Structure 1
Amino acid sequence: MSKVNILKLLTKKQQQEKFAVVTCYDASFAKVVEKAGIDAILVGDSLGMVLQGRDSTLPVTIEDMSYHTACVARGCDQPLIISDMPFGSYNTPQQCADNAATLMRAGAHMIKIEGGSWLGDSITLLNQAGIPVCGHLGLTPQSVNVLGGYRVQGRDDSQAKAILADAVALEAAGAAMLVLECVPRKLATEISATLKIPVIGIGAGNGTDAQVLVLHDLLGITEKTARFVRNFAEGSNGVEDALKRYNSAVVDGSFPADEHSFD
């Protein structure tokens, strides 16, 4: 496995080759993820729930994200490392740039931020500062209190059009990738076909360019998981084998199946 960068993932999209992403928060698991051949790691603010035992991602701090990003970076050499900007860390373009620089110094290759076209100025500034950006639309967990819970987004026409418009705006501002979470598969497929940048789905059907799952979910560690999760540890010969099975299922398009998707 050679070093993965943004251009390599863009080429995969252009050649219609799917790729897998998995969340990871420490050096030990990062080593196993790398051995499994997975192209990208997301150091997700989901650590607030799966590591810290909280009921949302909101309490996670930039210090938490920097610490876990550094741990992951020390554990692997090849995967692209994407690090989440936590709640309240990117309210203004300058705040966003300062905190993003902290994550890049910790070992991230790209940062991820949740939100639509209002992030345009921040994305432009980050690009000028040499910081690649992954956007995040649909169900944005940091906005759970505004959205009224963890619900599928984009089911009505006006909301679907707004998500598509935001996706186009994020790409125009300079986003190099996009995560779509919990949106109808038809909408996700349309957005993936519209954008030139890779689109990573989670609960968005198999029409996207890539998939991401939380490590603890796909290993069957999480007691209660969402509909879009599959336990790849069942029938596997350990963690590395489970991750290889996940990677293969994403690449060959067999995951996510219909039962993991929303209409």
Structure 2
Amino acid sequence: MSGIDVKKIRTRHIHEAKANGTKISVLTSYDALTASIFDEAGIDMLLVGDSAANVVLGRETTLSITMDEMIVLAKAVTIAAKRALVIVDLPFGSYEVSEQQAVESAVRVMKETGAAAVKIEGGVEMASTIRRIVDAGVPVCGHIGFTPQSEHALGGAVIQGRGAGADKLIADARAVQSAGAFAVVLEMVPAEVATEVTTQLDIATIGIGAGNGTDGQVLVWQDAFGFNRGPKPRFVREYAA
């Protein structure tokens, strides 16, 4: 059961949870049924992730999912989620070309789905884009560390933030916060680095493969419940079988 005791979670409640030391729960959802189940179970935030490309559409990477596909999935989730805050991934190719493109994509998601926020990948290099989206009235959750949309540029799914890379990760986190994001996902980073980032930031950190020192945790629900027949990340712990 969630520690955030409100009827409808807003971004301000995520800020309050961070300030109060209340842990934040996040699961992916791509349809009305799971959204309703997770919502009633007290999950704080539901992420309509581009991971739907893998676990729903059967594709090898997240890169191929389109904005139109994301919007269909997100609509189903927002219809069913009465309490949880719904975040929607901006898919690859929908925000990298220009800040104007990013704003238009974010606004479209908000208008057509009823979501509460969007998530985009990238740190220092995406800070000005995050700021533009926030200034347009769209809450943003950042995503740093291993960023799946940049898998090819990063040389595969490898841990980020080791050694000298820790300084870059901290700089990315600070840049995302300064740009106005209300939270940031830390993916596949050393636990001690994630804990340090969490200590330094005023916004909530949501870990995935980043240890237990973050303000919250997120998992792809099929991984968490053992329903994904493909290879799963080593950090995944199954909670049902």
TM-score range (shorter-chain normalised) is over 0.9
Kindly provide the amino acid, as one letter, of the partner of residue 20 in structure 2: Q
- What is the CA-CA distance between 1:2 and the residue it aligns to? 1.2
The CA distance in 1 between the partners of 2:40 and 2:22, in whole Å, is 20
Coordinate RMSD, CA, aligned: 0.9
Map 1:7-156 onto structure 2 (within 5 A).
7-91=12-96, 92-105=98-111, 106-156=113-163
Residue aligned with 1:114, SS? coil
Give 1:164's aligned residue: 170
Cα-to-partner distance string for 1:67-115 (whole Å, 9 max, x where unaligned): 1110101112110000001101111110000011111111210100001
The CA distance in 2 between the partners of 1:165 and 1:121, in whole Å, is 14
Give 2:201's aligned residue: 195
- The percentage of counterpart residues that share the same residue type is 44
The CA distance in 1 between the partners of 2:132 and 2:148, in whole Å, is 24
Cα-to-partner distance string for 1:20-50 (whole Å, 9 max, x where unaligned): 1000000111100111111100000000000
- What is the CA-CA distance between 1:155 and the residue it aligns to? 1.2
- What is the CA-CA distance between 1:201 and the residue it aligns to? 0.1
Number of equivalent positions: 233
The CA distance in 1 between the partners of 2:161 and 2:139, in whole Å, is 26
Unpaired runs of 5+ in structure 2? 1-5
Unpaired runs of 5+ in structure 1? 235-263
> TM-score, normalization: structure 2?
0.95
The CA distance in 1 between the partners of 2:89 and 2:183, in whole Å, is 13
- What is the CA-CA distance between 1:159 and the residue it aligns to? 1.1
Residue aligned with 1:164, SS? helix
The CA distance in 2 between the partners of 1:76 and 1:82, in whole Å, is 11
